[in-house]
Amino acid sequence: MVMFDELHEEFRQSVARMVQQHIVPIADEVDQTNRFPEELLEVFADMGLIQLAVPEEYGGPGGDLTATCIAREEIAKGGLTGLGQLGGQTGVFVQPLLAFGTEEQRQRFLPELAKGHALTCLAMSEPHAGSDAAAMTTRAVKDGSSWVINGQKCFITWGSVATYSLVMARTSDRPRGEGISAFIVDTSTPGFVVGRHDRKMGQHGVPNVELFFEDLRVPEENMLGEEGTGFRLALRSLHVNRPTIAAMGIGGAQAALDYAIAYCNSRMVRGRPVSSYQGLRWMIAEAATELEAARCLVYECARQFDSGLVSRDEIGTISSMAKAFAADVVMKVTTNCVQFLGGHGYMQDHPVERLFRDAKLIAILEGTTEIQKEVIARGVID
Ligand SMILES: Cc1cc2nc3c(=O)[nH]c(=O)nc-3n(C[C@H](O)[C@H](O)[C@H](O)COP(=O)(O)OP(=O)(O)OC[C@H]3O[C@@H](n4cnc5c(N)ncnc54)[C@H](O)[C@@H]3O)c2cc1C
């Protein structure tokens, strides 16, 4: 079993307690209404969860990648897998700022983010540029000391509630990723327009929206990294974030398995608990084993990064392995958890139905499994 050192274990237990108190009681209602449970934000900020990745020198808790994976796994166990993303919510903004930003930019944004009251989002995908994000057409044109951005993004998680967005836009006609730059955008800027809210299969409680940029004016000092390096910067940051998405999926699937085991222990068929039939016992044993294997890969990836054994440039292969493997496992496990409950598993009266819907996203979010396999193949073959 994956074991943590004392500090991480204490942290895990404190998140688990919070989840029992604040998420478990609202999980079913939030799934049914698909409302964004804003009341959780204060609780999460007080625990340092939203701002987990902000280093101590900027006033944050200085959580490492292992801590973010723990937070996401434990939050997802509360029964709403997607809410796991609130653990280290600002990570995909903070990580590139730390790695590619200037000290002036870090000083400008990190102390505020350290308070945990500002959410962030990453605006990269477009209706015709998802897996092939380098095909994006959102354009930024220099005008005096500003860049003026026009274009459209889709599916953006937290896009309607974020204070800052990391926006990718084309700044030149150089081929593919070389023409793309990254901008830090205050979402209250005129021209930052939130469009339709997506109606999703699962992961309810987490807002996803279209974004439109209509002559959105961004000061030149808000460009992150050099002009033309935005695409590389985003990919490096997503590589580091992938084990946290896997951890979130594992948390949701573990919640489904725990529920299914308790159900099978009490469900009597032909005078015996169904958990006593070997057919189910072996399926449960396999599910527990595969989840643990996925967990091992996730936390090994995080350990290698936290201890400096792999850099941001080198983590891609193992982080894609962790996410692709976990995505398959959580889909298989949650599918079987529905099966363990028979007809009852198909009903919304039991959380396995919701966790099964939630699990599907792990193979799509932040790069599909097919794209992860491309990254892995490049790492092991080329
Ligand atoms: C709920 C949700 C939240 C999201 N949040 C965000 C967000 O916050 N920010 C953001 O920028 N984006 C976000 N996304 C977008 C997400 O990253 C993309 O949906 C994903 O990268 C896939 O792109 P696509 O949907 O355009 O699929 P496509 O690229 O059209 O892919 C279609 C199919 O083709 C396969 N495919 C594509 N290229 C290859 C290839 N080279 N080899 C083999 N197979 C291939 C894919 O795997 C997939 O099966 C979100 C998506 C969802 C559903």
Mean pLDDT, consecutive 10-residue stretches, the chain (382 aa), reads 97 98 98 98 98 98 98 98 98 96 98 98 98 97 98 98 98 96 98 98 98 98 98 95 98 98 98 98 98 98 98 96 98 98 98 98 98 98 94
Mutate to test the pocket of ligand 1, among 167, 187, 368 (most ligand atoms within 8 A of CB): 368
Closest ligand 1 atom number to CA of residue 125:
11
Residue nearest to atom 6 of ligand 1 (CA): 156
**CB distance 365 to ligand 1 below 6 Å:** yes
Mark whether 366 is an active-site residue.
Answer: yes
Closest ligand 1 atom number to CA of residue 121:
8
The greatest distance separating any two alpha carbons of the chain, rounded to the nearest whole angstrom, comes to: 79
**CB distance 14 to ligand 1 below 6 Å:** no
Q: Is the dihedral of CA 242, 224, 148, 235 positive or negative?
A: negative
Domains delineated in the chain: 6-113 (1.10.540.10), 120-228 (2.40.110.10), 231-381 (1.20.140.10)
The 10 Å Cβ neighbour count of residue 176 is 13
Say if CB 186 and CB 164 are below 8 A apart.
Answer: yes
Residue 272: both structure tokens together: 């015996």
Cβ within 8 Å of residue 106, ≥6 positions away: 58, 97, 98
Residue 316: both structure tokens together: 């891609």
Residue 220: both structure tokens together: 């030149």
Cα 68 to Cα 72: distance, rounded to the nearest angstrom: 6
Angle at 162 between CA 246 and CA 319, to 5 degrees: 20
DSSP state of 347: S
**CB distance 283 to ligand 1 below 6 Å:** no
Residue nearest to atom 26 of ligand 1 (CA): 130
Chain centre distance of CA 195: 22
Say if CB 320 and CB 375 are below 8 A apart.
Answer: yes
Residue nearest to atom 18 of ligand 1 (CA): 130
**CB distance 366 to ligand 1 below 6 Å:** yes
Integer-rounded Cα radius of gyration of the chain: 21
Cα 71 to Cα 50: distance, rounded to the nearest angstrom: 10
**CB distance 206 to ligand 1 below 6 Å:** no
**CB distance 208 to ligand 1 below 6 Å:** yes
Cα 305 to Cα 151: distance, rounded to the nearest angstrom: 35
**CB distance 155 to ligand 1 below 6 Å:** yes
Long-range contacts, 98-105 (Cβ 8 Å, 24+): 98/55, 99/233, 99/236, 99/237, 99/312, 100/182, 100/224, 100/225, 100/229, 100/233, 101/224, 101/225, 104/221, 105/184, 105/221, 105/222, 105/224
Question: Cα–Cα distances in Å, from 238 out to 91, 244, 365?
Answer: 10, 10, 10
- H or E element at residue 185: strand 180-186
The pTM for the full model equals 0.98
Cα 279 to Cα 210: distance, rounded to the nearest angstrom: 46
Q: At what angle do helices 316-340 and 351-359 cross, to 10 degrees?
A: 150
**Spatial CA neighbour of 100 closest among 177, 182, 195:** 182
DSSP state of 259: H
Residue nearest to atom 32 of ligand 1 (CA): 131
pLDDT (0 to 100) of residue 246: 98
- Tokens 């009681």 correspond to what residue? 25
**CB distance 211 to ligand 1 below 6 Å:** no
Q: DSSP for 314-329?
A: TTHHHHHHHHHHHHHH
Chain centre distance of CA 241: 7
Ligand 1 mean position, distance from CA 118 (Å): 26
pLDDT (0 to 100) of residue 34: 97
Ligand 1 mean position, distance from CA 20 (Å): 33
Catalytic residue chosen out of the listed positions 10, 103, 366, 374: 366
